[in-house]
């Protein structure tokens, strides 16, 4: 059996991470369960516990594991990262304790790739040090999946740019220190050359929260983590532009691949946790003739979940390996395929695990509401499943040519006729 062994030193890090998360990170989830809690600096007691945990992660050399060594990470690459992220995926607080939470991880990538030295000093360095949080403000109320519909404008005024428009689902806009905002600077250009990126300090004049939208597990009117933001003539200097003018789509695209793979890695942990819960429940809940695990339908659910998880984990490792090998040409298809698989497995297994727990499963005494919300989020954030499924279909179709004649190339009478031409005496 192939067991993909890790080197002993890294295996020790993985073992340490598993024990540390169980002992020190999961308790944070239970004390401060709100999805936004890890970003909320007003939770002073939580912050006091968080700081020494982050220090311990640093001492272990596991801080910001997604980063290369030149950016202060260990430079493990993606395949090794799978083993860490799948452990963190069992928790809400894990990514912040280990310095690899979205959207900061993706934002640090684009700051490192496209930032000027001054932008890196001011924003990237404190972001990597865990002293700042950030936001990626791209989706608009009237245009999400299709970014060519974006209307938020940035207009030049002397040496400054003035940003005017609305964004929606700008995750952590109300907890962050700066926002990376995509705005249309060149409306007459080709659709994918119209927008540019700007770094906007969170305390810039003119930023308004129309609503601090939360997820469906959070109370209406509370401080939700995905605000509807209005930029009311927000003025930034020319030096706030991140990356080349008109290349906002290219900058955005370059951060999304990593984010999608990291979501997939964490989803392994989420699904494994559901499978663990299903297995325990199937053995614990007794019916007249024995435990639930004796019921064939329950066995099917366990089997389907286990098989899907094995396939998914190998899929994540494969796409991570493609990234490590620098196989850029293969990544668009691979990452879109993985994005669809991530949302699908999360939805299926979370639902099965919840259902197997009966009424307890839909109560507020089990973690399924947050898990269901995570599964739903995985099908939307970084692009809806349907859009990625179309990308996969399109790119797969592109690998094929139309049949040469009137029949498919595997048409049996035609193949047989060809075989007989090759071996005319073969059949009596
Ligand atoms: C938890 C969460 C966090 C998010 N964080 C951020 C963030 O930090 N920054 C940010 O900018 N955005 C963020 N988003 C927004 C996310 O990127 C968008 O929700 C996503 O791009 C879809 O846009 P939309 O919601 O406007 O859906 P719409 O564009 O209205 O699409 C709705 C549905 O229509 C269908 N559909 C649309 N287009 C197509 C198509 N071409 N082919 C087939 N079907 C289609 C799909 O079923 C899709 O789900 C976040 C979203 C969630 C849920």
* pLDDT, mean of residues 346-374: 97
Give the integer Cα–Cα distance in Å for 361 and 350: 10
* Protein residue with its CA nearest to atom 3 in ligand 1: 381
pLDDT in tens, 186-239: 999 999 999 999 999 999 999 999 999 999 878 898 899 999 999 999 999 999
How far, in Å, from the CA of 140 to the mean position of ligand 1? 9
- Ligand 1 atom closest to Cα of 390? 42
pLDDT at 259 over 90: no
* Protein residue with its CA nearest to atom 30 in ligand 1: 144
Predicted local distance difference test score (pLDDT) of residue 280 = 98
Pocket of ligand 1 (CB under 6 A): 103, 136-139, 144-145, 169-171, 226, 377, 380-384, 386-387, 390
Which is more confident, 73 or 82? 82
Mean predicted lDDT score pLDDT of the chain: 95
- Ligand 1 atom closest to Cα of 383? 21
How far, in Å, from the CA of 250 to the mean position of ligand 1? 18
- By CB atoms closer than 10 A (0-12, 13-18, 19+), residue 206 is middle
Residue 2: pLDDT band with limits 50, 70, 90? low
- Ligand 1 atom closest to Cα of 140? 26
How far, in Å, from the CA of 139 to the mean position of ligand 1? 8
- Ligand 1 atom closest to Cα of 143? 26
* Protein residue with its CA nearest to atom 41 in ligand 1: 387
Can you name the residues that pair with 160 across neighbouring β-strands?
157, 237
* Protein residue with its CA nearest to atom 47 in ligand 1: 386
Q: Do domains 8-115 and 134-242 have the same CATH topology?
A: no
Thinking of the domain 8-115, which architecture would CATH place it in? Orthogonal Bundle (1.10)
Domain ranges in the chain?
8-115, 134-242, 250-397
How far, in Å, from the CA of 46 to the mean position of ligand 1? 32
pLDDT at 1 over 60: no
* pLDDT, mean of residues 98-113: 93
- Ligand 1 atom closest to Cα of 171? 8
CATH topology assigned to domain 250-397: Butyryl-CoA Dehydrogenase, subunit A; domain 3 (1.20.140)
Alpha-carbon 195 to chain mean position? 23
pLDDT at 74 over 90: no
Cβ partners under 8 Å of residue 355, min gap 6:
361
Question: What would the CATH number be for the domain defined by 134-242?
Answer: 2.40.110.10
How far, in Å, from the CA of 142 to the mean position of ligand 1? 11
Q: What angle do CA 258, 263, 267 make, to 5 degrees?
A: 150
The Cβ of residue 393 has, within 10 Å, a number of other Cβ atoms equal to 11
283 and 302 Cβ atoms separated by less than 8 Å: no
* Protein residue with its CA nearest to atom 39 in ligand 1: 387
How far, in Å, from the CA of 209 to the mean position of ligand 1? 20
Our mutation pick for probing the ligand 1 site, out of 142, 149, 218, 384, counting the most ligand atoms within 8 A of Cβ, is: 384
pLDDT in tens, 295-336: 999 999 999 999 999 999 999 999 999 999 999 899 999 999
Report the percentage of the chain scoring pLDDT > 70: 99
Cβ partners under 8 Å of residue 211, min gap 6:
224, 227, 228
């Amino acid at each position: 059996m192939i067991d993909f062994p890790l080197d002993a030193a890294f295996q020790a890090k993985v073992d340490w991470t598993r024990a540390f998360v169980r002992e020190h990170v999961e308790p944070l989830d239970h004390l401060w369960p709100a999805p936004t809690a890890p970003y909320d600096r007003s939770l002073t007691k939580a912050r006091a516990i968080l700081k020494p945990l982050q220090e311990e992660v640093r001492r272990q050399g596991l801080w910001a594991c997604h980063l290369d060594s030149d950016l202060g990470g260990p430079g493990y690459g993606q395949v090794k990262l799978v083993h860490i992220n799948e452990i963190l995926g069992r928790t809400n607080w894990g990514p912040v304790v280990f310095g690899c939470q979205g959207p900061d991880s993706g934002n640090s990538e684009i700051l490192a790739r496209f930032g000027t030295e001054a932008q890196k000093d001011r924003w990237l360095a404190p972001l990597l040090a865990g002293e700042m949080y950030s936001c990626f403000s791209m989706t608009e109320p009237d245009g999400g999946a299709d970014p060519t519909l974006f209307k938020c404008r940035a207009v030049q005024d002397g040496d400054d740019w003035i940003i005017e428009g609305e964004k929606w689902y700008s995750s952590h806009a109300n907890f962050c220190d700066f926002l990376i905002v995509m705005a249309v600077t060149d409306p007459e250009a080709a659709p994918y050359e119209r927008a540019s990126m700007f770094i906007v300090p969170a305390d810039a004049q003119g930023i308004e929260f129309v609503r601090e939208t939360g997820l469906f597990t959070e109370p209406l009117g509370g401080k939700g983590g995905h605000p509807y933001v209005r930029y009311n003539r927000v003025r930034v200097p020319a030096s706030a532009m991140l990356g080349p003018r008109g290349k906002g789509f290219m900058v955005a695209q370059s951060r999304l691949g990593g984010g999608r793979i990291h979501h997939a890695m964490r989803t392994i942990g989420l699904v494994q946790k559901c499978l663990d819960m299903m297995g325990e429940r199937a053995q614990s809940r007794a019916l007249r003739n024995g435990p639930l695990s004796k019921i064939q339908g329950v066995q099917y659910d366990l089997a389907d979940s286990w098989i899907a998880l094995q396939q998914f984990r190998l899929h994540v490792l494969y796409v991570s390996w493609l990234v490590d090998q620098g196989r850029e040409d293969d990544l668009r298809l691979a990452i879109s395929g993985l994005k669809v698989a991530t949302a699908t497995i999360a939805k299926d297994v979370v639902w099965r695990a919840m259902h197997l727990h009966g009424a307890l499963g839909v109560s507020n005494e089990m973690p399924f509401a947050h898990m269901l919300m995570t599964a739903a989020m995985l099908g939307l954030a970084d692009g809806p499943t349907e859009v990625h499924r179309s990308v996969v279909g399109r790119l797969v179709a592109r690998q094929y040519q139309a049949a040469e004649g009137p029949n498919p190339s595997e048409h049996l009478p035609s193949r047989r006729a060809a075989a007989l031409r090759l071996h005319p005496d073969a059949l009596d």
